[in-house]
A and B are shown apart, each in its own frame.
Chain A
């Protein structure tokens, strides 16, 4: 049985090193090709007609003018007469034409007779939801009534966090060619290996007839797991256009309306604590909406799951908005905000420093030691002791300063992944895997692992990913990719190296394979480097290429990967009390993440996640108009993202040490995106002296809260 465990920290050549991402030059120079960049010969362009109404019935559709429009090659009706549509942006029909402009012209000529129906698009006021709110049950633990009566301190507050859209910069879409019996797709997908089966299921074509290519993807964040209806109708348009390829990507406005969003969460929360500051009671009435299908129950109380006495009730609100999709750490940022804001408010009620209250209650979490260690580190990095003053007590003129805390937990164990490693007699090495690089650095870490295992430089490894012809590997979601592909790569390269060792044994005095090692471009006898040969010389002894398939089975990850990341973030803000403008001065992340394959790209993940948190805390939200049922900011002027000047100083402290390293690889996509909103929200409350209940913390909401009008709806 081969030994797959990671080499000891001190003995690593590539793993754990700050290696620059391999596709960096291609991306920086605009050479990297995305699905939306593909321009195959004879390309046609797609365009769509969407519903302008949030809720309406189609009386009739007339596509005759569109079919007769110049340049049109195919018109498909997606929703038929009689259909009741439930959100703005629903795709009604699609057109293919010689040019994009001609396709748009034709789509505009499609006539739809609508019967407009009443809608509900806003979800912040449960009282207005009526029958659209569906109770999702009540959960009781311990004796909440007694805890409420007996609590030395009690705090009640309400908190809200709105719907965000994924706003991937590369919109959803693809170029597809359906010619004869074969389909070729250049898609924008988080799941190269599963795309063909998903698309094939929609259009009744065997997965084996569908080839998927994707070198790069311009953002997914959980919204690009499926082939989607646009994959299906784009394929149909191609088929109906004589097998010419068709390019269709969503326009920005439709992208923001229908291509995924993070559900809202609202909660009225009561906390109780004893004289020592120990939390004894959690009560919450929560509601959420992720569109027409309703909303998820948030995982609250978040992290502090062991609060003895709890009563929770939840309502899922169905609204006439585009449907939710997984959004980087689904439901966790919302739950972290709701929970950490309530604990921060409890500390204020007790007149205590929230740092002390969080520390005093970490035994109510699954990993109290980790959170205690991390919060102490974060507090030091932001000089909590020197900077913290009570709520509303740190003012210089009209500028108020504050500090706040947020906590996070995530799994992140590796997914099911297969990779093939192949050594050729000329010494070249191929590594094939049906995974995808979302920009997290997947290419880079796989190459590091392969080079490490084979004792070669990184440029000796020819890595091939992004095609479904390669061994299947899981979708990139839930921080599962790093663990999955690093483990399958480690197993494949270890096994193929053992095959090489076995073939070399006779050339090296019959040294058993177990006593050989690959180091510094040589195959040599362990403990006797002089006895060996160069890699190329060794490979020349092969009669034909050798290969091995590595499989990371999540049920038996062989110690190579695991789940369970903990993180703490602490924010420092300044608030202009005259304008209500919040400035993030500094944010610190302390994150454990097992064995860090590449600190440089790992830190980038954390920086990026913190910046996303700044967006969510201060700027971005979907705004829908109850009167018209329409999204008012389906664009990038008013769907606000932070820019380069808006993000303040960022400090990332990755916990790299033997204890964490021994846990194996843990994915890092989700953990750092969870707690930043809570930290910033709490820092603003600390600065201005009152809670701003609803995020993002826009100037108006800040001023309203300071004037005693803070509310969630």
Chain B
């Protein structure tokens, strides 16, 4: 059920450590790094002797590049990009469903690659170009993929739909004329409960054939 691209989603796009990556590191014997972070006084950002950047554990001021705008926000270092987008930044298109990198409802693009924003720490997203579903469909009325989703009724309750929209944008960016098998694989990193896959598959194929997505 997983595509190669899905694997990319588990990592921050710039090779920085995502939440899942962090867990992998610590389970491989990197627990000392975590201890250093927790030993720092609240609110501090400093560097260790080795030069590693330390943040938190209290709130830290960061700036995120979201849909082309530089947004300042105060977050705890443990806060995910998803929760930062949905909460203080009020970009609620990305949804929190599984909150652990399975369902894809939180998918956004970071530096042009789709990622599960629940597996990225907000502080790790600094310096990256973040595009949410709102930004990727800024011209809502004239967006060919949005129109294809509507035409092929690729949504019911709609809670998973924004995640599928970002995944579909990513698919068509990398593979503008996908085969049916490529469409299925490209959407395999996302889950829907209402069962909209028939409409989704047809919408992505339809938009690709239209050559405008």
Contacts and interface: CB of A to CB of B under 8 A. Distances in A.
Interface of A: 20-21, 23-34, 36-37, 39, 99-101, 167-171, 216-219, 221, 251-252, 438-440, 600-601, 603-605, 607-612, 635-637, 641-647, 650
Contacts of A170: 95, 97, 157, 159
Nearest to A437: B157
B184 A252 contact: no
Nearest to A641: B191
Contacts of A611: 192, 195, 197-198
B193 A641 contact: yes
Given A31-B93, A439-B155, A169 B146 contact: no
Contacts of A439: 155-158, 194
A609 B105 CA distance: 20
B156 A28 contact: no
B150 A25 contact: yes
A635 B147 CA distance: 33
Contact of A607 (B103, B147, B195): B195
A30 B93 contact: yes
A-B residue pairs, 7 tightest by C-beta: A30-B93, A611-B195, A218-B159, A27-B158, A608-B195, A439-B157, A30-B162
Contact of A29 (B1, B98, B134): B134
Contact of A644 (B79, B103, B157, B201): B201
A29 B162 contact: yes
B161 to A, nearest CB: 5
B100 interface: yes
Contact of A28 (B83, B94, B162): B162
Interface stretch (B8-16, B21-29, B46-54, B136-144): B136-144
A645 B157 contact: no
Which of B87, B132, B187 has most A Cβ within 10 Å? B87
A27 B195 contact: no
B190 interface: yes
Contact of B191 (A217, A608, A610, A636): A636
B151 A20 contact: yes
13 contacts: A21-B150, A21-B153, A24-B150, A24-B155, A25-B140, A27-B162, A29-B162, A99-B76, A167-B193, A216-B158, A604-B153, A607-B198, A637-B100
Given A217-B157, A612-B195, A643-B188, A252 B97 contact: yes
B154 A28 contact: yes
B99 to A, nearest CB: 6
Contacts of B158: 23, 26-28, 32, 216, 218, 439
A636 B1 CA distance: 13
B103 A636 contact: yes
A609 B198 CA distance: 11
Given A25-B140, A30-B92, A643-B191, A251 B99 contact: yes
Given A99-B76, A169-B105, A607-B199, A645 B188 contact: yes
Interface string B90-115: 10111111111011010000000000
A635 B98 CA distance: 7
A625 B57 CA distance: 36
Given A28-B150, A611-B197, A644-B201, A637 B157 contact: no
A21 B199 contact: no
Contacts of B98: 252, 635-637
Interface in B155-213: 155-162, 165, 183-185, 187-188, 190-201
Nearest to B199: A604
Given A25-B150, A33-B92, A636-B103, A650 B87 contact: no
Contacts of B194: 219, 439, 608
Nearest to A650: B198
A600 B149 CA distance: 13
B156 to A, nearest CB: 4
Given A23-B158, A28-B146, A601-B153, A635 B199 contact: no
Given A31-B93, A101-B79, A218-B159, A169 B103 contact: yes
B153 A20 contact: yes
Contacts of A612: 193, 195
Contacts of A101: 76, 78-79
Given A170-B157, A636-B98, A645-B185, A37 B92 contact: yes
Given A29-B133, A101-B79, A637-B100, A39 B92 contact: yes
Contact of B157 (A219, A609, A641): A219
Given A36-B96, A604-B196, A27 B191 contact: no
